[in-house]
Chains A and B, each alone.
Chain A
Amino acid sequence: CFRPVYGGGTAPAVTSKTFSGGGDVATELAAVDVKPLEGRVGGKLRNELIFALRGGGAAGPTAYRLTIRLKEYGQSAVVDPLADIPQTRTISLTADYDLTRAGTLDPIATGHTVATATYSSGLQRFANVRAERDAEDRAAVQLSERIRARLQAYFATGK
């Protein structure tokens, strides 16, 4: 049944349940080093993920490495046929990532996740450019939350 991810709580057994024994889920998460990602969206995802994993704390000794492969697609569902200009545009980011123990090569956990964000667009091209930038950021934030959830699950259950 359900129990708090971050240990604590009434059941003392919970604290020792963390997969790697020793430290609890939070310290394990803080020991994950996210490999740098190229490009603005990659940098934004990495920054958000680092806060999600370390909660703002200092970078502890690295015990795990997280490699993320990021892909971005753009598509418009609603296009005004008169001017053939998209009225909405959806940015979707997909991330395939591998968690490896530091110093080893074979992944101990993998994950695939996706995030989409939509913005309105019209004839004003500058507004479109800035709206697309914001949509990319929103999608990156969603991705960071889902990747954290996956790592939380791994460190809490070992699977």
Chain B
Amino acid sequence: AEVGIPVIDQLLPTRPKSFSGPHAPNPLAPGPGLKGKAAKQNDPNAKMLMEAKQLVYDYDREVVTAVGGVDIYYDGRALQADKVIYDQKANRVKAVGRVKMTERTGDVVYAESMDVTDNFKDGFVEPLRLETVDRTHFAAAKGRRENGNVMVFDRGVYTACEPCRENPSKPPLWQIKSKRIIWRQDEKTIYYEDATFELFGLPIAWLPFFSSPDPTVKRRTGVLAPTARYSGDVGVAVETPYYWILSPTSDLTLAPVFSSKQGVMLKGEYREQLMDGAYSIRGAGIHQLKTSEFADKVPLTKPDGSPAPDGGLTVGPGDKKDRWAVSTKGDFWINDKWSWGWDINAVSDKWVRGDYNLWGSRYDATSTVYLAGQGDRSWFEMRAYSFYGMTRYDQQDKLPWVGPVIDYNYVFEDPVAGGELAFNLNATSVYREDADFARYRMRPRQDNALVGAAGTYSRISGDMHWRRQFIDPIGQVWTPFAFMRGDLIYTDPKTDPRMGPFLDARQDALFRGMAGVGLEYRFPFIAESANGAHQIEPVAQIILRPNEGQIGKLPNEDAQSLIYDDSTLFSWNKFSGYDRIEGGSRANVGARYTFTSDTGATFSAIVGQSYHLWGRNSYDAIDATRTGLDSGLDTDRSDYVAGATFAPNQHLSFGSHFRFDEDNFKLRSAEIAARANFDRFQANVIYGRYDQQPLQGYDSIREGVLTGGRVYVTPDVYVEGGARYNFDFKVFDRTEVGFGIDDIMQCLALGFTYIREVDNSSDSIKLNDVDHKFLLRVDLRTLGSASASTQNRSTRDNYDQSGF
């Protein structure tokens, strides 16, 4: 994923790869190295071993004739035939009858008659059928072998498909028939002259002359299979990548994209692997010919001149002629503990990646630089970020520059006072040009959460905690703990009247401290059952602490999200970041039930509630981002929370969280996630329903479901489908259906996908524009894979989106 930014994930679980033809392999993988198959030089003094039922020797003509199941082994090659005539004087070996010759490389030649020199370097073979060790097949009426490394097939046929067992005469799925095929094993290239490509027996393409790397090649300079794409704005775009090996550890891919409407885009990627890491640089650029095609992006004003309702949105690329995208990524190991790297992206505008189907996420072009180290009990990470939002509602000056962000988490290995001592450090410094407010249906509103404060905000936080577990004779577990934390904060908000009600609008440097002691009590009970064990464990926790300071005076950058459920029930500070700290005394009470089976299955359930005892309830306080309000913790008796998870084996997992109102048990939030990951069946489903939090911009219930699944009907044929539905907007914003056939006859893989998704890059701010994408992918083993996709947009008039 892009640097921890939640990328919009695929609907469908990842698919195990079928087979891959020679495409631009990743040089970051360990070096290719010459596998054992390299043809070693011929051994000059090799001897020829001949074995047969009968050996007839004619002295005058010096001809040895072996008859009856003849086996000849010479310099790594093996030849079998019914009869072999070896003329020593003329150095010729003529084999007749069910001839089979196995090359050193493992390739096998079948023929009726073979007349070669005795070092098997030159000669004629009729008819010739060759099966390489990579399961590719050549056949020809007449074949010639020249100086040991060139095979010439007259009227030859090449295919990578296995012949059909039942009736081998049926033409293979695909084959290349050509007047002459020349396989130069020294160059590892196959040349076809006057070739026709046949698919399912039908001639599809006539190719006067073309060449392809021979199957033994894993990484080779050369043309890669083209891909074709059609979309309304760009027209037909054909990309013909050329892969160029510069050195054993670096390569360059240049891919001109010829588009019918916009001219030529040049794409390139340079990759290099060094001793301690690897980096890559990618770029793409085009000078558009028909820029007006993109004019339908979000206009600032309506046709009648009045400002468009969403005037605040940035206009699309509009008249921008030159469009480009650049990315560079590198990861390096300093030693076995420390590593550093970067992932830097820049784009000319928000829409270039989507319009030209470039690499990377369609939603952010985030850049980051990092240094990270991991010790036995510690973790250190230092990062800097620059964000570039690419949705139509993003405005760059509302996204912050963040740097550095330092995290250091350390746990002392040896006990201190018999217990565990640990400390955490975090330093964060954020600068933002323009303030950003929570939105409702993507409309900014001034009256609720300031999710992005304009100005500079820096904070250094350190916390330390100590805990120790005691077990009393009757099995009760007492865990006293203590913690303290200090934050040094410098804030310099910009003078912006809109931010007034959210924070102190003046520059300030202040300290916020917190300290607390507490006790956790557990009393686990266990009962054996036939195939596992049931455990019930009441848990109670009390934390005594002063109130949280500076609430409502400071921005909140890293603790905006607060989802109260059973996963946060027993944490001492339920906020998700350092910008807030839970204050006041609180008790958390719950009961946990766990069933564990001896086969390893685990079912666990928990139910509990949290009580604000004394002091100020941090979750009921108003801060810049209104975090905590309507979260279920903002009342002295919190909502009830419950959760259950079940993992019978490593293929299936199920997790759920629920929150109920503390008075009327009304469902406040629910979440169910399930995943299946078998060889022939992969599926995942996730449903989420979260109550309104109007002050944070969520006026209606956030409810959505995403499901995706793939079934391998047969070991090679799969059907897949996925959909995502948003209950608030009542729309399937993305559905995907597809099927594919891997490995047909081990030489062909087909994949078809149809994607229907709500278009949110066009001028419509409603949801009635829908994109339809059709993607076809064909993989021809050893030749390469080609893909074609088309995309068009349709408008649904009957869609009445109220509230706009």
User: Interface on A for B, CB 8 Å cutoff?
Assistant: 1-10, 26, 36, 38-40, 43-44, 46-47, 50-51, 54-59, 73-90, 92, 94, 96, 109-135, 138-139, 141-142, 145-146, 149-150, 152-154, 156-157, 159
Contacts and interface: CB of A to CB of B under 8 A. Distances in A.
A121 to B, nearest CB: 5
Contacts of B475: 4-9
Given A5-B524, A128-B6, A138-B567, 14 more contacts: A2-B525, A4-B475, A43-B379, A76-B686, A82-B442, A109-B600, A123-B393, A123-B398, A123-B436, A124-B560, A129-B3, A141-B571, A149-B594, A153-B535
B355 to A, nearest CB: 15
B515 interface: no
A115 B645 contact: yes
Nearest to B366: A125
Contacts of A56: 415, 418-420, 467-469
Contact of B767 (A73, A76, A81): A81
Interface in B664-695: 671, 673, 675, 684, 686-688, 690
B367 to A, nearest CB: 11
B526 A127 contact: no
B231 interface: no
Contact of B690 (A73, A78, A123, A134): A78
B472 interface: yes
A56 to B, nearest CB: 4
A1 B533 CA distance: 11
A51 B376 contact: no
B477 A51 contact: no
11 contacts: A7-B475, A73-B684, A77-B671, A83-B391, A83-B760, A84-B8, A127-B561, A131-B558, A138-B571, A149-B604, A153-B532
A3 B5 CA distance: 47
Contacts of B525: 2-5
A8 B474 contact: yes
Given A5-B525, A83-B391, A159 B604 contact: no
B212 to A, nearest CB: 38
Contacts of A10: 474
A152 B526 contact: yes
B561 A120 contact: yes
A38 B684 CA distance: 26
Contacts of B436: 123-124
Contacts of A83: 391-394, 442, 760
A66 B387 CA distance: 40
A136 B387 CA distance: 22
B202 interface: no
Contacts of A88: 563, 688, 690, 702, 704
B276 interface: no
B690 A130 contact: no
A122 B451 contact: yes
Given A80-B442, A96-B650, A159 B598 contact: yes
A116 B657 contact: yes
A65 to B, nearest CB: 15
A47 B533 contact: no
Interface string B451-495: 110000000000000011111111111010000000000000000
Interface size class of B (residues with CB under 8 A): 35 or more
Contacts, number: 341
B452 A124 contact: yes
A77 B686 contact: yes
B750 interface: no
Top 7 A-B residue pairs of the complex, sorted by shortest distance between their CB atoms: A4-B475, A55-B469, A77-B688, A81-B733, A116-B655, A130-B558, A78-B704
B558 to A, nearest CB: 4
Select the residue from A77, A119, A120, A152 with max chain B CB neighbours within 10 A: A77
B339 to A, nearest CB: 11
A26 to B, nearest CB: 5
B526 A153 contact: yes
A126 B760 contact: no
B471 A26 contact: yes
Contacts of A133: 4
Contacts of A131: 558, 560-561, 576-577
B363 to A, nearest CB: 7
B661 to A, nearest CB: 19
B729 interface: yes
B414 to A, nearest CB: 6
Nearest to A1: B527
Contacts of A117: 567
B302 interface: no
B472 A8 contact: yes
Interface string B1-30: 101111111000000000000000000000
A109 B596 CA distance: 11
Interface in B69-128: none
B776 to A, nearest CB: 24
Given A92-B675, A126-B400, A150-B602, A75 B706 contact: yes
B222 to A, nearest CB: 37
